[in-house]
Structure 1
Amino acid sequence: MDTHDNIERSHDVSGELDAHLSALARADSWRVEQRFKETEFETTDVVFFEGVRGGELGPFVRKRINCSAGVGSAYEELMRAQRAGMRLLAVPHLVECTRVGDTLTVVMEYVSGPTLQHLVEERGGSLELAASLFPALCDAVASLHEGFTPPLIHRDLKPSNVIVRSGRPVIIDFGIARLWRADAEADTTHFGTRSYAPPEQFGFGQTDVRSDVYALGKLLLFCLTGQNPHDARNEEQYEALGVEQPLARVIARATAFDPTDRFGGVQEMRLAFERAVSGIVPAAEAADEGTAAVSAGAHRAASDAQGALNDVPPFDWEYGPVGSEAQSAGAAVLHEEGTGRPKQSPKFIKNIVLIALYAVFVLGCIMAIVDPNDQDRGFPLWYLVMEYLSVAALVGSVVALLLNKPALAVWIPRLDMKRLRLASVIVLITSIVVFAAAGQLAGAL
């Protein structure tokens, strides 16, 4: 796979002013379906476009960014490049990008598929997975560095910002990305996820292409081990985490504290990774088979995606209206071939059984309230409701903790598993307290 496979060019150039005015005219035509994220500087929603004749198109992702903090400008660069004929296949297609005052509104395609975070959590880290995805991820990042002058630096590469669509990585969330400036000594804003961001991103200098190399080194560690990065920085420490020595050397160089000690660019790192993998036997043989299969699928996916972009008019590319076959095909990596249904793995079946059993239990609790037995008939209705609902909440929180979260994420692609677990623990503790209080109250009556 070559970096240039990630960049396509067309000859359809539209006027920026006309596009800006058209976007403003459509501002009230977007219906918010779901809120993904809300921070001090950014709000991210899933939206649908509602036409004047009642038609609906979507889903899309809309970001509203407060640019006063020095963020969001990368989307404007991406939009300018797209209007000039560039098509980055490893980046979501932008529909609109308008700035009014300090507020930047960006509407882009909804990329269907699991994040790298969910994929690794479901399958576990392995050499095979890294060999099948990491070269393509390097090509995707290199297309940002080589397709722009000066290079476009993402600055927030992490597992949740990489979506795997039909075996091919797509990079999302360019909120803190920036163009490299030769006259800058340091970044004006210090953002990023600390586990994946390089030291220079927190005040030690200006970020450049080697900053994304650092993040890719941490992502490679995650793909190999399934663990979020540790503070390890040398070859021996990475080996202690279970990484083969040739790959530990690659990661150690990529994540060196001093940028001058890292690989000079993403493609140099990719070549070093491939040489390291080829030297690992017999695991390399299995990795080569996985790489060949995924590579073939990725090339087919790229061809299909480009064909869709060329054959249909604006606003009706790849995904089309809600419920269309094109939309469901977007998550082929987690769907059965020829159908729009997610694969029913043993973990998925376990989830269904647990949910079904819990539904029967909740129904029993409701029946116990509506038609109490002789022992409960003497208690007031409010007490029965408190007692049985607290029991249902207690059992429900246990069920939520027992559910296989990655399998559940197949149906809810952007499920926040940390919040789900935290909420389950809080409900569990609260329901135990309420249930105990109900018992004490029953003894006092």
Structure 2
Amino acid sequence: MATTFEDFKLNKQLLNAVTEAGFTTPTPVQEKTIPLALAGHDVLGIAQTGTGKTAAYVLPLLMKVKFAQGTNPRALILCPTRELAMQIEENIKVLGKYTDIRFLSIYGGVGPKTQIEHIKKGIDILIATPGRLMEVYLKGDLVLKELKTLVLDEADKMMDMGFMPQIRRILEVIPRKRQNLLFSATMQERVEKLSEEFLEFPMKIEITPSATPVETVSQVLYEVPNLPTKINLLAYLLRDQEQFTRVMIFTKSKKNAENVFKFLERKIQGDVRVIHGNKGQNTRINAMEAFKSGEVRFLVATDVAARGIDISDVSHVINFDVPMIYEDYVHRIGRTGRALKEGASITFANEAEMHHIREIEKIIKMQIPQATFPEEITVATTGFEEKQDIAKEIDNQKRKADPNFKGAFHDKKETLREGVIDKRTGRPFEEKKPTKIRGFRRNKS
């Protein structure tokens, strides 16, 4: 096995860039992937976020493309989100700094005009989200017939986001004779099926068991009854400025993200930004850059930012809400504890969310340690709407487990129907039949 990057027989330009980037020893995914990719094999890689998998396929890609040539791309990297596309582009910029290789990332959220202008100038490596790629291709502004290599990064996330139809269309229009590299954090059945569709005799690499949290991340769970109490707990924790130096806070919805953002902006010391689907592209880029540079202490985000963000020294990830897609728990907490540094994850869960915690624990094959709720924190009363939402969610969970379960709301209705006395009338309860409305003829005037 390779113990240094020199062992991979990379060219001098790449080795110089690797050294300047501060890479010393290859990570396990790099050790296994780089030699296979350089030898031309198709690769199926199961690797967690934060394991160095981007460099594992970017370095062989840069070796293969070698230098700028022609106008049309010779390598295509597909990924699910604009954030990941931008992060991959940044990696290529760092590792390919001493080459003349031209690269570009294209994604939605901004107009395609500028992206098309860059494509027409000539590119060697194209990074794209599936929707934007097909949009530009169908306009006739992108030629894909010279592709030699295809990389699918975060394949499981692309499937969760419903990109399979676009991926299948892309596979129909690109050359059949090519090298394929597929990377996924989890080996779902759908990922396996996709790999069978387009990989030819792939070499499988599994660095960690499917959906395993990064070992350098400590995890803790607080059972919190409602949204106002979650806010109180968040405020209590974040007052510790020595420990909570750079924090990502994940919420399940744009509404919750905005509420947490506004609270932190008013009450807690330290700059804060928020990113979610309603934020413009420039706003999101600026927020990420400010957080990455250390200007901003807190970044509030929905799961749009759970993957593809490589920021060093994130001290804590706080799951303000438990993710509904269970694998996203691993991706969220993978934002901390990167590059063998220690990190911490804290999760808040109400009564309904505890069900999802148990399901997450099955996937990660471990129990998340539960912390004692601090006595200093005020436990707020659960509001009527939130109480109803939690009760409905618990009903839905029980109904999934037992199709015959009718639910608390149904039981209340049935009890009224079966009661001997109807309190409104004082008589035995009877089901009212629908009133028939007879037709009538209007007199002609």
TM-score by length of 2: 0.22
Structure (1 or 2) with the larger CA radius of gyration: 2
